[in-house]
């Protein structure tokens, strides 16, 4: 049998592959590329975290844990969220340890969505949300965000996208791909719309530690929002632990119980060695994490200054490790721009439209690259712009 596609479910067949992956297949075929493409820390996980996991293996911690995750890790997560965003969760029933935020988003959507329910998703945003909504048989509804608003989600724009089928709003601040943040006042306006229309919020706060102007604020901390919000966070970005695959979800116990049901039948539990590592990160990782964040901030300024020098417009991103400059002064759309930049100058960035149609006219540049590479990338991008403007 040559074509097996007819066996595939309609929903899987019709989901497009990630625009990022498509682009990175191209990058892997080109030598000598400076990559501002992958959204991943360039640090190795701090040694004390690796060591804690290693010791746990040595001591024989190789079995399943409770479906919800190690109780001591859930207790540390509860203490962390109380300390950082001021929201209290009971480790017994209100916290679930997951295989990254990726799993948390997937099972939250599957727990909440009835066929045809609408999931409101800021556009542009992280590539997994819309496919996640579709895989849960929901409908992804983009809510445009704009560079003139510094890519904050606006309450009036959100409200204009709401229909009787709207059920879930995904918030993702600090944002991938824009680096935008939402402060308390911005969130309060969104919370009012959420309450008025009886929505549930999935708040992906994976970049919460990577803010460069004051502390991260969570919508879960606003009045009457705790039980309407599933707060998610993970270790991939702040602690440079992408490969460990560990994250968590906190929320109302009915919702966490429903998510735990799916988790229990599909995943069983997050790997124990990764849970041990995460425990060490929360207990003793603050100092090293702060150093990494300072380092990202230095590189953020370097890239922003570089863009200014070569005349590439970019609003100042205040979180995560991305810049999202406009390429509208060139004759190219974002895919053409990235393909030609790769071919002509061997610099990889991600086309903005990979994150939603509202990302067209922009490119995502991740500054978790070495200073030397960032400086060289700016020179090469400057040469490219000189040739094409």
Site residues, ligand PLP (CB under 6 A): 39, 100-102, 126, 172, 176, 204, 206, 234, 236, 242, 247
List the end-to-end C-alpha distance of the chain, in Å, as a whole number. 51
- The span from the CA of 209 to the CA of 205, in Å, is 9
Question: Given the complex with ligand PLP, which of 56 and 176 has the nearer CB atom?
Answer: 176
For the CB of residue 340, give the shortest distance to ligand PLP in the complex, in Å: 25
Angstrom distance (rounded) from CA 369 to CA 389 = 27
Kind and range of the H or E run holding 249: strand 247-250
Q: Would you tell me how many other CB atoms lie within 10 Å of the CB of residue 292? A: 22
- Minimum CB separation of residue 151 from ligand PLP in Å reads 13
Shortest Å distance, C-beta 206 to ligand PLP: 4
Tell me the residue number closest to ligand PLP, measured at CB. 100
The minimum distance between CB 172 and ligand PLP, in angstroms, equals 5
Q: Chain centroid to CA 272: how far?
A: 23
State the minimum distance, in angstroms, from the CB of residue 32 to ligand PLP: 25
Judged by CB, which is closer to ligand PLP: 126, or 315?
Answer: 126
CA distance 364 to 331: 18
CB of 385 to ligand PLP, least distance (A): 27
Decide whether 207 or 384 has the Cβ nearer to ligand PLP.
Answer: 207
Of the pair 97, 341, the CB lying nearest ligand PLP is at 97
The distance of closest approach from Cβ of residue 136 to ligand PLP in the complex, given in angstroms and rounded to an integer, is 16
Task: Give 54-61 contacts, CB < 8 A, sequence gap 24+.
Answer: 56/272, 56/273, 56/276, 57/273, 61/272, 61/273, 61/276
Decide whether 330 or 353 has the Cβ nearer to ligand PLP.
353
Tokens 């229909």 locate to: 163
Residue closer to ligand PLP, measured from CB, 208 or 325: 208
**Shortest distance, position 73 Cβ to ligand PLP, whole Å:** 15
Closest CB to ligand PLP among residues 341, 366 = 366
Name every residue whose Cβ is closer than 8 Å to that of residue 358 and which is 6 or more positions away in sequence. 123, 124, 142, 144, 145, 146
Closest to ligand PLP by CB, 108 vs 378, is 108
Which long-range contacts link 130-135 to residues 24+ away (Cβ below 8 Å)?
130/356, 131/15, 131/18, 132/105, 132/106, 133/109, 133/168, 134/11, 134/14, 134/15, 135/11, 135/12, 135/15, 135/106, 135/109, 135/110
CB atoms within 10 A of CB 314: 19
Dump strand ranges (E) for 163-207.
166-171, 200-204
Toward ligand PLP, which CB reaches closer, 102 or 229? 102
Give the shortest CB-247-to-ligand PLP separation in angstroms: 4
Please state, in angstroms and as integers, the Cα–Cα distance from residue 261 to each residue in 266, 268, 269, 330, 344, following that order.
9, 9, 11, 50, 51
């Amino acid at each position: 049998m040559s074509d097996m596609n007819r066996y595939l479910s309609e929903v899987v067949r019709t989901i497009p592959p990630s625009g990022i992956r498509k682009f990175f297949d191209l990058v892997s075929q080109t030598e000598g590329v400076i990559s501002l493409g992958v959204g991943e820390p360039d640090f190795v996980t701090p040694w004390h975290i690796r060591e804690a996991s290693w010791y746990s293996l040595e001591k024989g911690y190789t079995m399943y844990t409770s479906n919800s995750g190690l109780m001591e890790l859930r207790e540390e997560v509860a203490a962390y969220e109380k300390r950082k965003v001021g929201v209290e969760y009971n480790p017994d029933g209100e916290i679930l340890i997951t295989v990254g935020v990726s799993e948390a988003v997937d099972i939250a959507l599957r727990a909440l969505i009835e066929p045809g329910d609408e999931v409101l998703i800021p556009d542009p945003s992280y590539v997994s949300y819309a496919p996640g909504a579709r895989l849960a048989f929901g409908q992804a509804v983009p809510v445009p965000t704009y560079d003139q608003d510094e890519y904050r989600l606006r309450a009036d724009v959100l409200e204009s996208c709401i229909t009787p089928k709207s059920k879930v709003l995904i918030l993702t601040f600090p944002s991938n791909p824009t680096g935008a943040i939402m402060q308390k006042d911005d969130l309060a306006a969104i919370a009012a719309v959420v309450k008025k229309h009886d929505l549930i919020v999935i708040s992906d706060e994976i970049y919460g530690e990577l803010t460069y102007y004051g502390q991260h604020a969570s919508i879960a901390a606003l009045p009457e929002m705790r039980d309407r919000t599933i707060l998610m966070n993970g270790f991939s970005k702040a602690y440079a632990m992408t490969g460990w695959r560990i994250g968590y979800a906190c929320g109302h116990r009915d919702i966490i119980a429903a998510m735990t049901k799916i988790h229990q039948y599909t995943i069983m539990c997050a790997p124990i060695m990764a849970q041990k590592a995460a425990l060490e990160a929360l207990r003793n990782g603050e100092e090293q994490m702060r150093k990494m964040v300072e380092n990202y901030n230095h590189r953020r300024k370097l890239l922003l200054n570089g863009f200014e020098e070569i005349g590439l417009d970019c609003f100042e991103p205040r979180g995560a490790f991305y810049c999202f400059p406009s390429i509208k002064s060139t004759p190219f759309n974002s895919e053409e721009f990235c393909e030609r930049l790769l071919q002509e100058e061997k610099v990889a960035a991600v086309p903005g439209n990979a994150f939603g149609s509202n990302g067209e006219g922009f490119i995502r540049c991740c500054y978790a690259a070495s200073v030397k590479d960032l400086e060289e990338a700016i020179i090469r991008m400057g040469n490219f712009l000189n040739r094409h403007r």
